[in-house]
Amino acid sequence: MTINKNKVVTLHYKLQEGDATGELVEETFGSEPLVFLYGIGQMIPEFENQLAGKKTGDAFSFGINSEDAYGTYDPDAVVSIPKDTFVVDGKLDENLLQEGKVIPMRDPDGNQLLGTVMEIQDDEVVMDFNHPMAGVDLYFTVSIEDVREATQSEIEHGHVHGPGGHHHH
């Protein structure tokens, strides 16, 4: 069965930065595979494009340029936020304010963003709201383990049920 819209795809992947010699970001080989409903926008569009038409047993590699992955690095997404933003119940949340820590925050429109603490100054905290992989070219090595038709329920819910998928309790 070939991969196209409303198929449930089970695959293993290795993600590296840049190319086949790049730093390993994450890998599923040797653990639970990735299981997802194809064609509904859960994955990076270019990742799905590369899988189109492939079938069980196919193994292949491909690169995705940063602008087609998590976007280019935007220097304007690095901002200074007043330290008093991080005051909870009258005191500064020291656990939160650690360089390199990723903190969920909201923008003025109420959208959730993830910001990485870059630097802690006297009155301000420098946060980077770029995706951690922004500006990074991705290199995937993929092995297709299984392709099956999605059930009507999976299509309606927009996610996979059963092994590797979403469980309703």
What H or E segment, with its residue span, contains residue 35?
strand 34-37
**Euclidean distance between CA atoms 104 and 92, whole angstroms:** 16
Across 50-59, average pLDDT: 98
Same domain, 39 and 122: no
Whether residue 165 is contained in a domain is answered as no
Answer yes or no: do 16 and 55 share one domain: yes
* Residues 11 and 66 placed together within one structural domain of the fold: yes
pLDDT tens digits for 5-45?
999 999 999 999 999 999 999 999 999 999 999 999 989 99
pLDDT class for 162, splitting at 50, 70, 90?
confident
* 11 within some domain: yes
Q: Are residue 121 and residue 138 in the same domain, yes or no?
A: no
pTM listed for this prediction: 0.81
Question: Are 11 and 65 in the same domain?
Answer: yes
Could you tell me the end-to-end alpha-carbon distance of the chain, in angstroms, rounded to an integer?
Answer: 31
